[in-house]
Amino acid sequence: MSSAAAKVALIGAGRMGRVHGLSAAANQRLHLAWLAEPRSDAAAALAAELGCRTASLADVLADPEVRGVIVAASTDAHLDLTLQALRAGKAVFCEKPLDLDPARLKAHAAELAAPAAPLLVAFNRRFDPHFRALKAKIDAGAIGALETLNIVSHDPAPPPPGFVATSGGLFRDFTIHDFDTAAWLMDEAPSEVFAFAECLVDPTIGAAGDVDTARLVLRFPSGRLCTISNTRRSGYGYDQRIEAYGAKGAAMAGNPRLSTVVAASRAGARADAIHPGFASRYLPSYRAEMEHFADVLAGEAAPAAGYAESIAALALAEAALRSLASGASEAVAA
């Protein structure tokens, strides 16, 4: 890292803690100094891998040299940790969601909407190079006025037992990325949503009160439309695609493959597999997102997404849940 690197700390040594910690450690403009995690074994192991030291949350927040905090603890702790860090004057990179409960977020609207330090909520699709290339093409007018979107977002395999209970459900946990992506690409907040959703894949998901297969349709105030296809189990890898249709043509962003190798036999020509999961599929987006946080810390960029985007995406998830119950399209709460 360069001598001017910004000192940052990581909170959380779980799956996403490791993902964001590796991005921070690899970033030449950040100096990942501290890892705060109550489970000392997990803390020690990840700190060794990241080449940083462990510390208590209190010590991290008390360190005047720490400029940014990466919040990657369990979802239910995101909001409190973010508020504590902001109050300590630290810029925050918070893994999504900021919180699963819009009411809880709104209770802190003043602190979150105009935060004392920059607040970046990690909607990582916005940093994926393929989706950014798609947006650049749209913004450059390559397909004329954007009219409709078809988003496919398919998980490779169902989450482990127990995940569903704390996840907030398919719409708040998984579709929320697609909600944010739709608004980001359309540059407009959807006004109505309709959802069909079922449990077709894994009965334990249904038993936990959730769904695993969904088709949603969004309507925007401009009359433009968007479909979202979700499943918790694709059977063929982590499928993340977007089709954008405009007045002059269309543009699609597809899945990078593990290699360019194609094997030809009498049965056809088989291209290599797509990525097996989010960690490798979105590695470039996680790296770019952390680079954006470095920009934010350097005063070179405003956070790409924060409180407003979090509230907006949650409002879509809430409307989708209401639609499931009512069987009708539901207006998205302002």
Residues 259-318 binding its own copies (CB under 8 A) are: 259-274, 276
**Helical axes 176-186 vs 129-139, angle rounded to 10°:** 30
Q: Shortest CA distance to 52 belongs to which of 26, 31, 30?
A: 31
The answer to whether residue 191 forms part of the interface with its own copies (CB under 8 A) is no
Q: Does 326 bind its own copies (CB under 8 A)?
A: yes
Least CB distance from residue 313 to its own copies, whole Å?
A: 20
Instruction: Tell which one of 51, 141, 203, 221 touches its own copies (CB under 8 A).
Output: 51
Map tokens 């973010």 to a residue.
82
Name residues contacting its own copies, limited to 212-231 (CB under 8 A).
213-217, 219, 223-227, 229, 231
Three-class SS of residue 169? coil
Residues 100-139 that bind its own copies (CB under 8 A): 129-130, 133-134, 137
Judged by CB under 8 A, the residue of 70, 121, 251, 332 near its own copies is: 251
DSSP 8-state assignment for residue 245:
E
Smaller CB separation from its own copies, 87 or 270? 270
| Shortest Å, Cβ 17 to its own copies | 18
Q: Which of 45, 256, 279, 295 touches its own copies by CB under 8 A? A: 256
d(CA 289, CA 282): 10
Sole window of 92-100, 108-116, 179-187, 326-334 interacting with its own copies (rule: CB under 8 A): 326-334
255 forms part of the interface with its own copies (CB under 8 A)? yes
Q: Which stretch binds its own copies (CB under 8 A): 8-16, 83-91, 241-249, 296-304?
A: 241-249
Report phi then psi at 198, rounded to 5. Answer: -145, 165
Closest CB to its own copies among 14 and 246?
A: 246
By the 8 A CB rule, do 86 and 117 touch?
Answer: yes
Measured from the CB of residue 135, what is the shortest distance to its own copies in angstroms?
10
CA of 276: how far to CAs of 18, 126, 161, in Å?
A: 18, 20, 19
Q: Footprint of its own copies on residues 137-156 (CB under 8 A)?
A: 137, 142-144, 147-148, 150, 152, 154
Q: Which is nearer to its own copies, 78 or 232 (CB)?
A: 232
The SS3 of residue 251 is strand
- Rounded CA separation 271/279 (Å): 21
What single-letter amino acid sits at 115? Answer: P
Q: In this structure, what token pair is assigned to residue 21? A: 């910690």
Which residues face 39 on adjacent strands?
none
